[in-house]
Structure 1
Amino acid sequence: MDLTTVFPAESPLYRQSVPPGPPREAGGDIVLVTEVTGFYPGCMKLFDTLLQEASLHDKAGSASKRAALKAKLTPTDTVEQVAGDLRISEGEDRRANGGLVVKGNLVLEDQGRLLVAGDLVVEGSIIHEGFDYSLLFVGGSLQAGNLLVHGEVVVLGGFKVQGVAWTYYSDYSTYADTLTARLVVADDREDAIGKVSAENHLVGHSSEIGPKLSKLLQKGLVDEEGEWSYTTLAKKLLKKEALLA
């Protein structure tokens, strides 16, 4: 089908098409007659590619790979505002082609995937509910109150958590150049983060790091043997209660 489409020069949309026919002028914009196969915001094609992957380890597992990914992103200037909590439901894929500000908590259910081309600010906590795969991809910087995830996290800009950044289990990883938080916990998990800045940074199985954790967190969250409940931590964060002692 032949279509005539007008795009302002600053438009974030781009065209997938066969080679265009002869252009003509129309009110300062260039009009191209093409056979159009689709119109996409600037980041959607890359997001489509990433969503085909079962894991982003091969795409973001090193600093050079993350830099290459970032170079392909063209986020818009739009910043989406969410007044309360934002929940990414089971199996849902959600994209933000610019920035995103969440005034409450960001909750990822199993198999939920959120991709943000620009900066992500979560004034509450980022919480992955469940033990299956989830994905949080941020092309810019990420700021949050706390973070508790079992799934995969990719941050291509600065990564700052005010309180606790807690990642759990070895199935997936966190990929970022830097992470700053008061307490960083990698429980039975190998995260690929270039530099971690934290008052306390604990890495290992819960049986090894649990005794120290119990002294850093609210009483009763971790016992002296290092036993703790992921579900209990998630529920506490959902209620916007503090984890740190």
Structure 2
Amino acid sequence: MTIWHAERGTGEPVVLLHSSAADSGMWDAQVEALSARFRVITVDFRWYGRSACHADGPYSDAGDVTRVLAELEVTRAALVASSGACQAALELAAAGLADRLVLLNPVSSLEPTADVRSYWQEERRLLELGDAQGAAELNARTLLGPEASDAAWDRLVEMQRHAFEIQLAADPEPERVEGEVSAAKIDLPALVVAGAHDLPYFLASARHLAGELPRARLVELEWAGHLPAMERPEEINRLLLDYL
């Protein structure tokens, strides 16, 4: 299976991997800015956006993206990932498919703390009730920082609700697997971004991962929540253009 993907621009390839709270639409502003200088590739993971909604067996996001890159004849790319997609980016890097990384508010191997467990439990409760709208609004309320516009809020709720509705309709629920990755062995330039208004767990995860990656630089944004690319897109565009 090849997941939905699109490309725009020419030059060195840059792959944008979306958060599990959104789909590739979270990168619209970045596609516009980056495609003037780079070949920008976006994907929708399975059960998100425009990708097909089935799995014949266990699958991985990294495996799906690997197949997309092979189809596009891309052997190495800069990988820009948000939140949960940072795990797929690390797997792709470990497989030799990356030349540099940008990890925005990543997850990590740290044990979940009370703040994130409480958030996940409430999301699960709402989904068990079939309340995709309520769960989507919970995500927007929890993840978007104070700089997010009303339009960003509405867009995030729309993307997340769509994904939840697809996932709630899935029968049986698909099994997504993740590979074991040692960040200490990924010897690539890496920019790790954290938001001061993010949940403490994600802030700690960003710091932890930046300490594990041999060539990482940590940037902490005082204004940002969990999804800075949607909160202050122009500032993230500048950050990415300077780094890439």
Max radius of gyration: which structure?
1
Q: Which has the higher strand share?
A: 1
Check whether TM > 0.5: no
Normalised by the length of structure 2, the TM-score is: 0.27
Normalised by the length of structure 1, the TM-score is: 0.27
Q: Which has the higher helix share?
A: 2
User: Structure with the greater relative contact order (CA < 8 A, sep ≥ 6): 1 or 2?
Assistant: 2
